Amino acid sequence: MKIIVIGGNGTIGQAVVKELAQRHTIITAGREHGDIKVDITDKKSIEKMYQTAGKVDAVIATAGKVHFGALTEMTDEQYQIGLQNKLMGQVNLVLIGMHHINNAGSFTLTSGVLSQDPIRYGSSASMVNGALESFVLSAAIELPKNIRINVVSPGVLTESMDSYADYFRGFVSVPAARVALAYSKSVEGAQTGQIYKVE
């Protein structure tokens, strides 16, 4: 398969590329790094990415930003970061990508554990992750051309615990290589409308 991985140079993205490159042709895309440059907040940039890549069999999105902050101090502008970047960025990868993906292709998006298990300062991440999961459940029943769509919801990464341990007390971390298996299941399997939780 020919697979494009948006965010392929991030911690999860690198693990996904390592897992799938053993069997498939991988194109990485990112804002600053990758085979193709893309800004997921810009629909024209997404369109250009797909035109550059050509027809693909699978699209994996591991990119997306949200703002972490105390609820009592959060502003509309800070919520917009997650809404425009991680949420609508991934949604637009699907809306635009469905015209560039092969029949029976697949989209795999990324949410996160905070949709179900919130932490302090994470209201934006929880909101965006929950919205992505609901979007996937709905999109799965409407996508044309037998296209499948799933979302991976990873727990806090083992590789990130040095930076985030104070916020995730009591959470069991998961290594990125284990998270990558869920993307493999989504791309190489047959299911659609699934939320793959890796905790």
pLDDT digits (tens, 9 = 90+) for 44-83: 999 999 999 999 999 999 999 999 999 999 999 999 999 9
The CB density around residue 76, as the number of other CB atoms within 10 Å, is 7
pTM for this entry: 0.97
**pLDDT given for residue 56 in this prediction:** 98
Structural domain total, the chain: 1
Strand order in the sheet with 2-6: 36-37, 25-30, 2-6, 56-61, 101-110, 148-154, 195-198
- What's 25's DSSP letter? E
Distance set, CA 109 to CA 12, 48, 86, 106 (Å) = 12, 20, 10, 10
Angle at 7 between CA 120 and CA 77, to 5 degrees: 45
40: CATH = 3.40.50.720
**pLDDT given for residue 53 in this prediction:** 98
Range of the domain at 177: 2-198
Which residue in 56, 43, 35 sits closest to 96, CA to CA? Answer: 43
Residue 15: pLDDT band (50, 70, 90) is very high
* Gyration radius (Cα) of the chain, Å: 16
